[in-house]
Amino acid sequence: MIAMQLVKPGPIDLKPVEVPIPQPGPGQLLIRVLACGICHTDLHTVEGEIHPPHLPIIPGHQVVGRVEALGEGVGEVLLEEKNEQALDKKSEQIRSLWRVGERVGVPWLHSACNACDFCQRGQENLCPQARFTGFHVDGGYAGWMIAEADWALPLPETVSDEQAAPLLCAGLIGYRSLRLAGLEPGERLGLVGFGASAHLAIQIAGGWGCEVFVFTRSASHRRHAKALGASWVGGIEDYAPAHLDRAVIFAPAGELVPLTLKKLRPGGTLAINAVYMSDLPAIPYSTIYGERTLRSVSNATYQDGLDILRIAEEMGLHSTVTTYPLTQANQALQDLKTSRFDGEAVLLP
């Protein structure tokens, strides 16, 4: 099969290589890739801002595919029976049941230990033994890939491949960021940066009756934000018409943190949604005084994945998607870096 492989981090230069189709081991699924979203985390990995534990590696962690083969120990079940079950964090026996031909989603979280204190609390996103798709193991910039049966997500058939892919990271982590920011229906939300994740988060916030201010440098992204319901758009240096109850930073620039804190009301919360960010500058105590909260968002849980897929169906979330052939992954990453499209890029093998 053809895969786009990272051999050496630095300038964007994934190599198209011919590699064998992998075979599923115990507890695993062989998946034929139908679509794979492109994420800023991929860009950080390719350019060497975060370092995978080994090279070469195939990036990609917003994968939509179909199950081609079941590894040993993976039970097969009819879709009708599976859909009747309550798929929640505790349904381990259901999570390992799949059938050949079933459509599947593979997110950033490849697996966790299920035994540590974090996993037992439903915080497997913080598990010290967590492994991540396209970082610890080969991801979806390929024709086929391997996933752990217990951590793959069942996809609603009502959502197309191209629309499902962005939900598996951009939508998922955007939703978790809103939760960790403590956003309540009817509150005023600030989104700093307006790429793939924010353009889905604004739709969720709008569904909750929230007013949304968007801070972004890109004129195209400002127009996109207004089209998706932002009540105000501007730059972080601009005066906003009211204080924010909650805010989420999506741009990986540490200097935005104190500037955003100044726009929060007392008691408000700022969540940073970034797997990588430049260093934060000194923050005067007066900026965070008044019981303001600053917190990071680290990965996401299996339950978050189930939740965003349900919300996408209920709210009719729609991703703005630009598609590229798999072999144009380098161009897609370059276009992401320079903000040449709105929403998200999706690779089609």
In a domain, residue 306? The reply is: no
Residue ranges in the chain whose pLDDT is less than 70: 77-94
Check which CATH number belongs to the domain holding 80 and give it.
3.90.180.10
Question: Is residue 312 assigned to a domain?
Answer: no
In this structure, are residues 264 and 248 in contact, taking their beta carbons and an 8 Å threshold? no
Q: Do 176 and 266 fall within a single domain?
A: yes
- Number of residues that this document lists for the chain: 349
pLDDT of residue 77: 57
Together in a domain, 189 and 274: yes
The total of other beta-carbon atoms located within 10 Å of residue 231's CB is 15
Alpha-carbon separation of residue 70 from 2, 6, 178, 193, 339 (angstroms): 22, 27, 36, 40, 39
- Statement to judge: residues 61 and 100 lie in one domain: yes
Write the pLDDT tens digit of every residue in 268-307.
999 999 999 999 999 999 999 999 999 999 999 999 999 9
| Same domain? 239 vs 271 | yes
pLDDT of residue 94: 65
Structural domain including 110 reads 2-155+319-348
d(CA 135, CA 9): 12
Residues 127 and 90 in one domain: yes
Q: Tens digits of per-residue pLDDT, 68-96?
A: 999 999 987 544 454 554 444 334 556 77
**Is residue 32 situated within a structural domain?**
yes
> Does 132 share its domain with 200?
no
> Domain of 207: which CATH number?
3.40.50.720
**Which residue matches tokens 């970082």?**
135
- pLDDT at residue 95, rounded to an integer: 79
Task: Indicate if 16 and 114 belong to the same structural domain.
Answer: yes
CA atoms within 13 A on the CB side of 298: 10
> Using only C-alpha atoms, what is the Rg of the chain?
20
What's residue 88's pLDDT? Answer: 45
Q: Is 75 left (phi over 0), alpha (psi -120 to 50) or beta?
A: beta
CA angle, 304 then 310 then 313, to 5°: 140
**The pLDDT value given to residue 87:** 46
How far apart CA 40 and CA 344 sit, in angstroms, is 10
Per-position DSSP letters for 130-163, written without gaps between them: -EEBTTTB--SSBSEEEEETTT-EEPPTTS-HHH
- The answer to the question of residue 206 being in a domain is yes
pTM of the model: 0.93
| 3-class DSSP assignment, residue 105 | strand
Give yes or no: residues 285 and 244 share one domain. Answer: yes
Tell me how many domains the chain contains.
2
